Structure 1
Amino acid sequence: MNLLKTSVLNGVAVLIKTATMFLLNKILAVYVGPAGYAAIGQFQNFIQMVTTFAGSAVNTAVVKYTAEYYDDEKKQKTVWQTAGSIVSIFSFIFTFLVLIFHQQLSFWIFKTEDYGSVLIWFAVFLIFFNLNALLLAILNGKKEILKLVFANIAGSLFSLFITGFLAVKLGLYGALVALCIYQSLNFIVTLYLCYRSEWFNFSYFIGKIDSDIAKKFLAFAAMALVSAICVPLSQMVIRSYLVHEYNVAYAGYWEAMIRLSAAYLMLVTTTLSVYYLPRLSELSNIQAIKAEVYLGYKFIFPLAVAGGVAVYLLKDWIIPLLFSSAFLPMRELFLWQMIGDSLKIGSWILAYLMLGKAMTKLFISTEIIFACSSIVLTYIFTQVFGFKGVSIAHVVNYALYWSVMGYFVFAVLKDRESRFGKE
């Protein structure tokens, strides 16, 4: 399936997901407010870290090797069986740990033990959360885009109805519980879609862990784990800094800005993961890889820029419509945030080569360096420019990141080609 067809099908799911995100933003803005946004952001970062350590770190590898072994069902089965066993084992380990330390974790995340029971909900549903992510990775690698689209649409609708209902009924507590369970419930839909496929068999997802496949997973797991630590932890540090430097409401404004960016960029980012990762995993010739990157800059990057311009021009209409008048202080973040978002997509088009080609050392080093630089730059620019400095730091960080990607990614590819020749 080519980039255009993938983008069109993916666009349907993205349109629905974007609409549900906008509706949820409005519900959360009304029922939890800016301070609640900050708490939700902290908890989402925690979920991202734990689910990655609990097994989802192998999902990028599952996409790559499912696509790479497209014509070899036996090898695909070995990949899935190894991944399923790893996910099951680590999910149960982390379920046990979260159940034991739920009160301490609540205090670390929320600065209060009042949400300890939320962590219990999360622990109970963790295994289903990770199995759903694994099946989505397999659908992606199998290039069953239509089923992947349906699964994503189901996830969006679950998110809207469950989060919306619980937030209205229980406020912030309900919204936090919804984050624990909606993707886990989506597992039922994803499982049904996979069950209807000819290649599916329950026995393919549990059994012996193949040592060779597990070794191949290590590079991707290392990248995912580093990313799961660096990105969420840096956001948590920045959010805590904003609370300390200003107040919790300002951390909420920044969280709302991040959510808005994620919503309008969703078509771009999901197309990168759904199309680019499997496609780049298949290619070995550097000229073919360059051609795919060129397509990304020809079609995907302009979409990101156009989206950013539109959001900036409509900011005074967007804030009260999608959030509430309580979020008006986030207005000063828009210009710099939109510029930074465009730079981010430009850099990500190249960064996906690191994942597709398992450039482990480069990925790990850049994740650590730029997660740290995002914190340092936020501190520097907020001291100079005030609150909008958090978005100015976003611009500078991704400008530097894109420069590094442009130089090092193709340098690594050329070095591999010179040493091993064209495959």
Structure 2
Amino acid sequence: MVNRISRKIKKIFKLDIIKVFSFTSISTLVKMASGFIGVKVVAVIIGPTGVALVGQLNNFSSIIMAIATGGIITGVIKYIAQYKDDTDAVRAYIGTAVKITLSLSFICGLLLILTSRFLAFKILLDTKYSFIFIIFGLALSFYVGNTLLLAIINGYKQFNLYVKISIISSIIGLCLSLCLVIPFGVNGALINTVTSQSFVFIILLFLIKKANVPYLSKNYIWNRFDKSKAAHFFRFSLMTLVSAFCTPVSQLILRRYIIDNFSMQAAGWWEGINRLSHAYLMIITSSFSVYYLPKLSELSSAVSIKREIKTACKVIIPCLVVGLSSVYFNRFLIIDILFSSEFYEMSNLLFWRLIGDFFKVASWLIAYLMHAKAMAKLLISTEIIFSSLEIILSILLSNLIAMQGIMLGYAINYFIYFSLMVYLLINNGFKLEADL
């Protein structure tokens, strides 16, 4: 019996997903540590009200980034992973991606600058923050360039380089955050939100050149625009843009609802939980885009795909249960370490958020298949339906049990989403081909 268990444990540790998970653990720990320090500094210096404003800007910048990249980043990862041995195909995909992102980032940057006062009033509730959107417009092309290069590295599965860049970007992000937030408070936190990845881009170029990789050569970057490859990317544009809009827009709506019906401070508590959730989920989801998406993209048979999802569940679900339980039972200590006494109310709101996060990650293990196989219609419809459902459930339940209702709505929404994903997988609802 003992020998059988021992063999099973050894077999699990030989799995590729465990190797990647272990490989990326260092960068994840560095990212977490820098993120925790950054959250602590921001929470102490600018308080719940400032944290709510930064959350607003984060959601808005996510939407702009999706538009500026044309929503093709997931497609870049998929097609490079799929055709990495076909040099001509990869050159065509990279050249097309560069032209799409350069054009769109320039247009978006210009619009941000021209509409800065309007955006400052609508997003940050005060025109005095118009300079933030001007800075964002000027930095946007570098931000997009950083995102595109990371996607190319990911597609090639160059894990050594990817981990190195992740560690460096985390350290740069932390240093920039400290240098801006400590002397400039809310303004510094907002500037950091829209500039940190632009600084990383410069370091990224240096590391890639030093690694002597081919995809920075003129033959790749300035390869001609290919209409057929652009059409392939278009499927991912629709999926990514809808995904990128749905989550931030639903958060913008809910945050504004909380501000109007509860208080700005309550919105700060809610945003604090969002930040905490992002930090602890990073431990598990770090391997998703690095390993899981390219792996699902490579597989072609239903049997092999279901086997891979089953393997991922065996590894991720136990880690998820242990991790989320640890967060709940140590919630007071975590709030003391990461935030301040102004955020103690978060402890009363955390339970249902953790339940929701469990079903969220569990559903992702199946839902990533929609990205990997370009199932655009299915992904778009589910994103819109469940983002809308979260808003409806949260608002309805908040009328019954106040802020607890916001969290309960989140948990119920992802439980229903998870149930649907399981049903589709078991009953062959997923077709292993693009549906648009």
The TM-score range, normalised by the shorter chain, is over 0.9
CA 1:368–1:409: 2 relative to 1, 3 Å: farther
Output one character per residue of 1:273-328: Cα deviation in whole Å (capped at 9) or x when no partner: 11110000000011110111011110012212211100000011111111000001
Where in structure 2 are the equivalents of 1:227-242 lying within 5 Å? Answer: 227-242=243-258
Q: Does residue 280 of structure 2 align to residue 264 of structure 1? A: yes
Q: 1:253 aligns with which of 259, 264, 269?
A: 269
Q: 1:295 aligns with which of 311, 330, 333?
A: 311
Where in structure 2 are the equivalents of 1:20-419 lying within 5 Å? Answer: 20-55=34-69, 57-195=71-209, 196-203=211-218, 204-409=220-425, 411=427, 415-416=431-432
Amino acid at match of 1:220: F
Q: CA deviation at 1:194?
A: 2.1
CA 1:414–1:133: 2 relative to 1, 3 Å: closer
Residues in 1 aligned to 2:425 and 2:141: alpha-carbon distance in whole angstroms = 35
Residues in 1 aligned to 2:18 and 2:87: alpha-carbon distance in whole angstroms = 27
Residues in 1 aligned to 2:224 and 2:194: alpha-carbon distance in whole angstroms = 30
3-state DSSP class of the match of 2:224? Answer: coil
Output one character per residue of 1:243-281: Cα deviation in whole Å (capped at 9) or x when no partner: 111100100101000110111110211211111100000
3-state DSSP class of the match of 2:214? Answer: coil
Q: CA deviation at 1:391?
A: 1.0
Q: Does residue 19 of structure 2 align to residue 5 of structure 1? A: yes
Output one character per residue of 1:56-86: Cα deviation in whole Å (capped at 9) or x when no partner: 5111000000000021111111111000110
Q: TM-score, normalised by structure 2?
A: 0.93
Q: CA deviation at 1:414?
A: 6.0
Q: CA deviation at 1:408?
A: 2.6
3-state DSSP class of the match of 2:207? Answer: helix
Residues in 2 aligned to 1:239 and 1:276: alpha-carbon distance in whole angstroms = 32
Residues in 2 aligned to 1:48 and 1:408: alpha-carbon distance in whole angstroms = 29
CA contact (8 A) 1:56 1:134 kept: no
Structure 1 gap segments, 5+ residues each? none
Residues in 2 aligned to 1:198 and 1:217: alpha-carbon distance in whole angstroms = 23
3-state DSSP class of the match of 1:171? Answer: helix
CA contact (8 A) 2:94 2:223 kept: no
The alignment covers a number of residue pairs equal to: 418
Output one character per residue of 1:140-167: Cα deviation in whole Å (capped at 9) or x when no partner: 0000011111111111111111012101
Q: CA deviation at 1:179?
A: 1.2
Residues in 2 aligned to 1:41 and 1:408: alpha-carbon distance in whole angstroms = 34
CA 1:128–1:381: 2 relative to 1, 3 Å: same
CA contact (8 A) 2:82 2:297 kept: yes
CA contact (8 A) 2:70 2:100 kept: no
CA contact (8 A) 2:293 2:368 kept: yes
CA contact (8 A) 2:52 2:267 kept: yes
Residues in 2 aligned to 1:121 and 1:42: alpha-carbon distance in whole angstroms = 16
CA contact (8 A) 1:253 1:329 kept: yes
Q: CA deviation at 1:190?
A: 1.7
Identity among equivalent positions (%) equals 37
Structure 2 gap segments, 5+ residues each? 1-14
3-state DSSP class of the match of 1:97? Answer: helix
3-state DSSP class of the match of 2:140? Answer: helix
3-state DSSP class of the match of 1:284? Answer: coil
CA contact (8 A) 1:21 1:160 kept: yes
CA contact (8 A) 1:106 1:116 kept: yes
Residues in 1 aligned to 2:366 and 2:170: alpha-carbon distance in whole angstroms = 28
Q: TM-score, normalised by structure 1?
A: 0.96
3-state DSSP class of the match of 2:349? Answer: helix
CA 1:32–1:67: 2 relative to 1, 3 Å: same
